[in-house]
C-alpha cells in the first residue's frame, strides 16, 4: 500500500492537547479539595484527559513515520526522536522527586526507582504500582506503544497495517483475560487503536464532517466526557468520546485552524511540561487548606493556576531549550553529511 501523506501541523490538535492537560490538572486539584468539601467528591471525569492524550498519540505518532523506509536506521531514527521528546524532561523531574525523597527520608526500593526511570510498572514500598512521579504511569503505556512501532519499522514500514491489529488484539486481551501480574490495563491500548483509525480516515479519505455537524459533535462529546457519570470501561466511555472529539476537531481544522490565536495553542505546546510538574503545587495548596486560608473553590482555582504556572515555566526554561538543542544538533549533523 502506498505511503500515507503526512499532514501539515494541525492547530486544532494542539488545542485538544491543551484541553486534555487541563482536564488532568483540574482532576488532581479536585482530589486535593475533596476532604474540604461536602461529600468528599472528586471530579473523576478529569481523568479522561489521559484517554484523550492516548487517542491523540495513536493518531499522530504513526503519521510521523516515513512508511517507505524500514530497517535498523529507520527504527533508530524513530526511537531517537521519541526518546529526545520524552526522556530528558521526565528523567529530570524523576531525579528531582528522588532527591526530595532522600531529603525527607521517604522509604523506597531500588527496584521501584529503577522501574521509574525505565518506564516499567514496578511496585513501591507502599504496594502501589506507580512510578515515583505518579503521573508517569501513562508514559509506561506510551513507551510500550513506541517500542511496538519501532519493532514493526525494523521489519517493514507498513506501520498502520500491522500495529493497528496488534494494539486492538492487546486491548481485547486486556478486556477479556485477567492479567494481574502485568499491572497494566491493557484495554487502554484500544485508545491508541482509535487514534490510528482516525489517522487512516484523515490521511486516506477526503471526507470530512460538515462544519456544523463537527462543531455540534465536538461540543456534545466534550460535554459528555466532562459531565457524564463513569459507568463502564474507560475505553468504552472516555476512549470513544475522545475519538469523536478528535475527528470533530480534525474536520474543523480547515475552518478554524488558521484563525486560532497563538495563546490558544500555548497550553498544547506546553502540555507535557504541565502534565509532569503541575502537582508541585499540591503540597502548597494542601497546607493553605489545612490552615483554613482558602475556600475549596478558591483553593481549586489557585491550585490550577499554580499548576499551570509551574508547567509553563518548566516549558519555557527547561523543555523548550532541550527540544531546541536536539533540533539544532540534527540540523548540524544533516549539514555535515556530504551530498553527492
Backbone angles phi, psi at 119, to 5 degrees: 60, 40
User: What is the reported pLDDT for 41?
Assistant: 77
The full set of domain ranges for the chain reads: 11-329
Nearest to 47 by CA among 25, 67, 32: 25
User: What is the reported pLDDT for 126?
Assistant: 75
Nearest to 114 by CA among 95, 100, 128, 127: 95
Is the CB of residue 96 less than 8 Å from the CB of residue 116?
A: no
With a CB cutoff of 8 Å and minimum separation 6, the contacts of 158 are 1, 67, 152
Q: How many residues does the chain have?
A: 340
Q: How far apart are the C-alpha atoms of 243 and 240, rounded to whole Å?
A: 5
Distances (CA, A) of 312 to 16, 139, 315, 319: 17, 20, 5, 10
User: What is the reported pLDDT for 151?
Assistant: 93
Q: How far apart are the C-alpha atoms of 316 and 322, rounded to whole Å?
A: 10
User: What is the reported pLDDT for 38?
Assistant: 79
Is the CB of residue 280 less than 8 Å from the CB of residue 311?
A: no
Q: How far apart are the C-alpha atoms of 320 and 324, rounded to whole Å?
A: 6
What does each of the 340 residues of the chain score in pLDDT, given as a tens digit?
334 445 567 999 999 999 999 999 999 999 999 988 877 778 999 999 999 999 999 999 988 887 768 899 999 999 999 999 999 999 999 999 999 999 999 999 999 999 999 999 888 877 778 999 999 999 999 999 999 999 999 988 788 999 999 999 999 999 988 666 667 889 999 999 999 999 999 999 989 999 999 999 999 999 999 999 888 889 999 999 999 999 999 999 999 999 999 988 999 999 999 999 999 999 899 999 999 888 999 999 999 999 999 999 999 999 999 999 999 998 888 777 765 5
Amino acid at each position: 500500500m502506498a505511503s500515507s501523506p503526512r499532514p501539515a501541523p494541525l492547530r486544532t490538535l494542539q488545542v485538544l492537547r491543551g484541553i486534555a492537560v487541563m482536564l488532568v490538572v483540574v482532576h488532581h486539584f479536585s482530589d486535593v479539595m475533596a476532604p474540604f468539601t461536602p461529600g468528599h467528591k472528586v471530579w473523576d471525569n478529569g481523568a479522561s484527559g489521559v484517554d484523550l492524550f492516548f487517542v491523540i498519540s495513536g493518531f499522530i505518532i504513526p503519521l510521523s513515520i516515513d512508511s517507505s523506509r524500514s530497517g535498523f536506521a529507520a527504527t533508530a531514527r524513530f526511537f531517537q526522536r521519541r526518546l529526545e521528546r520524552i526522556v530528558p524532561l521526565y528523567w529530570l523531574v524523576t531525579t528531582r522527586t528522588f532527591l526530595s525523597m532522600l531529603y525527607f527520608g521517604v522509604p523506597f526500593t531500588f527496584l521501584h526507582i529503577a522501574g521509574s526511570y525505565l518506564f516499567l510498572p514496578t511496585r513501591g514500598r507502599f504496594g502501589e504500582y506507580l512510578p515515583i512521579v505518579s503521573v508517569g504511569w501513562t508514559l509506561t503505556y506510551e513507551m510500550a506503544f513506541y517500542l511496538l512501532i519501532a519493532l514493526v519499522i525494523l521489519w517493514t514500514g507498513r506501520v498502520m497495517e500491522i500495529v493497528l491489529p496488534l494494539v486492538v488484539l492487546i486491548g481485547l486481551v486486556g478486556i477479556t483475560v485477567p492479567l494481574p501480574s502485568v499491572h497494566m490495563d491493557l484495554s487502554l491500548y484500544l485508545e491508541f487503536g482509535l487514534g490510528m483509525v482516525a489517522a487512516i480516515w484523515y490521511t486516506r479519505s477526503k471526507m470530512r464532517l460538515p462544519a456544523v455537524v463537527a462543531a455540534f459533535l465536538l461540543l456534545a462529546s466534550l460535554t459528555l466526557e466532562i459531565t457524564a457519570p463513569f459507568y463502564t470501561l474507560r475505553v468504552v466511555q472516555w476512549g470513544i468520546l475522545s475519538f469523536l472529539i478528535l475527528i470533530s476537531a480534525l474536520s474543523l481544522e480547515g475552518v478554524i485552524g488558521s484563525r486560532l490565536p497563538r495563546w490558544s495553542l500555548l497550553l498544547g505546546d506546553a502540555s507535557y511540561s504541565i502534565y509532569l510538574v503541575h502537582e508541585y503545587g499540591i503540597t502548597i495548596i494542601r497546607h493553605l487548606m489545612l490552615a483554613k486560608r482558602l475556600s475549596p473553590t478558591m483553593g481549586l482555582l489557585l491550585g490550577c493556576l499554580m499548576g499551570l504556572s509551574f508547567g509553563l515555566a518548566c516549558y519555557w526554561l527547561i523543555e523548550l531549550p532541550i527540544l531546541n538543542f536536539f533540533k539544532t544538533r540534527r540540523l548540524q549533523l544533516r549539514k555535515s553529511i556530504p551530498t553527492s
